[in-house]
Structure 1
Amino acid sequence: MRPVLPGDAVAAARALYARPSTERQAAMSLMLVHAEAADAYRKRFGRAHPVWGNGSLMALAQREALPPEPSLDDPDYCRCLAIVFGTLADRRDVRATPGNHP
């Protein structure tokens, strides 16, 4: 997956915000799988994946109808951002564990 920038996190959170809260964690995990696969496709074929984009979370999320970005006083949106950041942090922790591969 391409490096995650602030806009990627916002786009992913907006995609989660459009989903029922019970689906958000699984949707975020699937976004990471698809972004990884899209990035591998981009590296191998030199172009974006036709469905999942160029390997960035933003490219993947923007393929959905995203709601406008809520303000940070919306607790539900804050929970979506927390899912994004928590999942990314957990992913980095797993990769940093000896014996795991990047």
Structure 2
Amino acid sequence: MREITHGDMHAAACVLLTCPCGDWPQVMAGLLADAHSADCYRKHSGRVHPRLGNGTLMAVALARAPDAAASRARPSAPRYQQALACVLSALELWRAARQG
């Protein structure tokens, strides 16, 4: 997966906001797996993955829910903050699993 930016985290959080809270860990696991796959494809082929994009979390989030990242999610909204916390937690777990 490519370097994570604030935009990536925001896009992923916006995707989570379209799902029930109980589904968030599984949705994040899928987003991270797809971003990793797309990045591997990009590195191997030298081209952007046709469905998943360039290997960024944002590209995968936009592919999964194109309208979600354009939402007007407010950073001060508690549900957005919970979604962002889930994104950060999932990133930490994903990185730990890859390093372990």
Q: Confirm or deny a common fold (TM above 0.5).
A: yes
**Root-mean-square deviation (CA), in Å?**
1.3
* Stretch moving more, 55-64 or 65-74: 65-74
Residue identity in the other structure for 1:42: R
Q: CA deviation at 1:92?
A: 2.1
Structure index of larger Rg: 1
Give the gaps of 5 or more residues in structure 2: none
Give the CA deviation at 1:50.
Answer: 1.0
Q: Structure 1 vs Structure 2: percent identity of aligned residues?
A: 37
Say how many residue pairs are matched: 97
Segments of structure 1 that go 5 or more residues without pairing to the other structure are: 98-102
- CA–CA separation in structure 1 for the residues paired with 2:32 and 2:24: 13
Question: How many angstroms apart in 2 are the aligned matches of 1:46 and 1:11?
Answer: 25
Cα offset for 1:2? 0.3
Structure 1 stretches of 4+ moved >6 Å: none
Matched, 1:92 2:98: no
- State the match for 2:71 in structure 1: 68
Distance 2:43 2:99 in 1: 23
Paired with 1:44 and 1:95, the residues of 2 have a C-alpha distance of 19
* TM, length-normalised to structure 2: 0.89
